Structure 1
Amino acid sequence: MNLNGRALDRAALARLAGDVGAAGGVRAVVLDDGAERGIRALEFRTGGGLNFDVLVDRAMDLGNAEFRGQGFGWRSATGFRHPGLHEYRDEDGLAMMRSFSGLLVTAGLDHTLFTAEVDASRYRYPHRATVWNGLHGRVANIPARLLGYGERWTEDGGCVLWAEGEVRQAAIFGEHLRLTRRIEADLGGAEIRLTDTVRNAGFDPTPHMYLYHINVGWPFLDEGARYELPVERTLWQSDSVAEQGVSHVEMPAPQPGFVEQVYEHVPVADAAGLVRPRLVNERLGVYFELEYDTAEFPAFFQWLHLREGAYAVGFEPSTHHVAGELAAREDGSMTFLEPGEERSYHTAFRVGTL
Structure 2
Amino acid sequence: AGFPGPWSYEPEGLGWLRGFGGGLLTTCGLEHALFMAEDSVAQYNYPAFQTKEFGLHGRVSYLPARLTGYGERWDGDACTLWASGEVVQAAVFGEQFVLRRRIEAKLGESRLFVHDEVENIGNAPTPHMYLYHVNVGFPVLDDGAELLVPATNPQPRGGHSAEGYTRFHGPRAGYTEEVTEHAVKAEAGGTVPVAVVNRARGIGAYEVFDRAQLPHHFIWRMLGQGTYVVGIEPSTNATAGRLDAKAKGKLIVLEPGETRRYDLELGALAGAAEIDAFAARVAGCG
SS in 2 for 1:327: helix
Map of 2:281 onto structure 1: none
Q: Which amino acid aligns with 1:132?
A: E
Instruction: Deviation per CA, 1:207-240: give whole Å up to 9, x if none.
Output: 1100000000101111111111121222x31224
Map of 2:279 onto structure 1: none
Confirm or deny that 1:146 pairs with 2:61.
no
Which whole-Å CA distance do the structure 1 matches of 2:9 and 2:150 have between them? Answer: 39
Which whole-Å CA distance do the structure 2 matches of 1:209 and 1:230 have between them? Answer: 24
> TM-score if structure 1 supplies the norm length?
0.74
Map of 1:314 onto structure 2: 231
Which whole-Å CA distance do the structure 2 matches of 1:133 and 1:217 have between them? Answer: 28
Confirm or deny that 1:351 pairs with 2:268.
yes
Map of 1:283 onto structure 2: 200
Q: Which amino acid aligns with 1:141?
A: Y
Q: Which amino acid aligns with 1:309?
A: G
Q: Which has the larger radius of gyration?
A: 1
SS in 2 for 1:140: helix
Deviation at 1:93, TM superposition (A): 1.7
SS in 2 for 1:96: helix
Confirm or deny that 1:194 pairs with 2:114.
yes
Which whole-Å CA distance do the structure 2 matches of 1:81 and 1:246 have between them? Answer: 37
SS in 2 for 1:352: strand
Q: 1:95 aligns with which of 6, 10, 15?
A: 15
* Structure 1 portions without partners, runs of 5+: 1-77
Map of 1:133 onto structure 2: 54
Q: Which amino acid aligns with 1:166?
A: E
Confirm or deny that 1:338 pairs with 2:252.
no
Q: Which amino acid aligns with 1:128?
A: F
* Structure 2 portions without partners, runs of 5+: 273-286
Are the aligned partners of 1:183 and 1:195 in contact in 2 as well (CA < 8 Å)? yes
Cα RMSD (Å): 1.4
Which whole-Å CA distance do the structure 2 matches of 1:215 and 1:115 have between them? Answer: 21
Which whole-Å CA distance do the structure 1 matches of 2:136 and 2:48 have between them? Answer: 43
Alignment of 1:221-300 (within 5 A): 221-234=141-154, 236-242=155-161, 247-300=164-217
Q: Which amino acid aligns with 1:332?
A: G
Map of 2:8 onto structure 1: 86
Which whole-Å CA distance do the structure 2 matches of 1:334 and 1:104 have between them? Answer: 23
Q: Which amino acid aligns with 1:318?
A: S
Q: 2:77 aligns with which of 148, 157, 169?
A: 157
Which whole-Å CA distance do the structure 2 matches of 1:259 and 1:82 have between them? Answer: 26
Q: 1:208 aligns with which of 113, 125, 128?
A: 128
Which whole-Å CA distance do the structure 2 matches of 1:108 and 1:189 have between them? Answer: 30
Deviation at 1:170, TM superposition (A): 0.3
Map of 2:45 onto structure 1: 124
Aligned length, in residue pairs = 270
Map of 1:114 onto structure 2: 35
Map of 1:303 onto structure 2: 220
Which whole-Å CA distance do the structure 2 matches of 1:107 and 1:218 have between them? Answer: 23
Are the aligned partners of 1:105 and 1:140 in contact in 2 as well (CA < 8 Å)? yes
What's the % identity of the aligned pairs? 42
SS in 2 for 1:97: helix
Deviation at 1:176, TM superposition (A): 0.5
Are the aligned partners of 1:223 and 1:253 in contact in 2 as well (CA < 8 Å)? yes
Which whole-Å CA distance do the structure 2 matches of 1:196 and 1:179 have between them? Answer: 7
Confirm or deny that 1:220 pairs with 2:137.
no
SS in 1 for 2:75: coil
Which whole-Å CA distance do the structure 1 matches of 2:108 and 2:116 have between them? Answer: 24
Which whole-Å CA distance do the structure 2 matches of 1:184 and 1:94 have between them? Answer: 33
Confirm or deny that 1:181 pairs with 2:101.
yes
Q: Which amino acid aligns with 2:134?
A: I
